[in-house]
Amino acid sequence: MRIAIGADHAGYRLKDEIVPFIQSLGHEIEDVGCNCDQSVDYPDYALPVADLVASGKADRGILICGTGIGMSIAANKVKGIRCALVHDMFSAKATREHNDTNVLAMGERVIGPGVAQEIIRIWLDTPFSNGERHVGRVNKVMQIEAKFADA
């Protein structure tokens, strides 16, 4: 799988720690930055990751900032993106099974590398449960997106 990854200044250390882990699982990484602790704007890194996923140039995306909140908000503005903010293993599995999320957001100031690795492993390994109720719900979300896309 091709994974796009990005972080702001508050998340780049965790990003740099998890990239080798993701590669060890056999995935290819497209790292859009940032690679410093100087203050940057999280939308500048959320957008390239979301664009890569929405365009199909990446299969999934991972975003990291201090809390993951800003990154998830910014990514979810891109048509076709279903980004979930996750800080625990149960949510990592549920968001793939129930919501077919294609972007994962996490906060470096909230979780450490060990928890992040387990969340990522679960999120990457868990398929969407193509059950009728979940497909219908995801389709409703996509209809909302379509309704307001040109507003």
Calculate mean pLDDT across residues 88-111.
98
Whether the link from the prior residue into 83 is cis, omega within 30° of 0, is no
Does the pLDDT at position 81 exceed 70? yes
Rounded CA separation 108/14 (Å): 6
The verdict on whether residue 66 carries a ligand-binding annotation is yes
Measuring CA to CA, which residue among 82, 79, 49, 81 is closest to residue 64?
Answer: 49
Question: Which band of pLDDT confidence, cut at 50, 70 and 90, is reported for residue 1?
Answer: very high
Give the pTM.
Answer: 0.96
The verdict on whether residue 150 carries a ligand-binding annotation is no
Does the pLDDT at position 107 exceed 70? yes
Tell me which of 27, 87, 98, 134 is the catalytic residue. 98
Tell me which of 27, 34, 36, 65 is the catalytic residue. 65
Calculate mean pLDDT across residues 117-141.
92
Q: What percent of the chain has pLDDT over 70?
A: 99
Token pair 């930055």: residue: 33
- One-letter amino acid at 132 equals E
Rounded CA separation 38/122 (Å): 31
The verdict on whether residue 137 carries a ligand-binding annotation is yes
**Phi, psi values for residue 6, rounded to 5°:** -150, 155
What are the domain boundaries of the chain?
2-148
CA angle centred on 37, ends 35 and 42, rounded to 5°: 75
The verdict on whether residue 6 carries a ligand-binding annotation is no
The question of whether 83 is a catalytic residue gets the answer: no
Question: Which band of pLDDT confidence, cut at 50, 70 and 90, is reported for residue 148?
Answer: confident
Question: Which band of pLDDT confidence, cut at 50, 70 and 90, is reported for residue 151?
Answer: low
The question of whether 36 is a catalytic residue gets the answer: no
- The strand pairing partners of 4, in sequence order, are 30, 61
- One-letter amino acid at 134 equals H
Q: Which of 2-16, 75-89, 105-119, 127-141 has the lowest mean pLDDT?
A: 127-141
The verdict on whether residue 22 carries a ligand-binding annotation is no
Question: Which band of pLDDT confidence, cut at 50, 70 and 90, is reported for residue 132?
Answer: confident
Quote the mean pLDDT of the chain: 96
Q: Which of 17-26, 39-48, 83-92, 125-134 has the lowest mean pLDDT?
A: 125-134
CATH architecture, domain defined by 2-148: 3-Layer(aba) Sandwich (3.40)
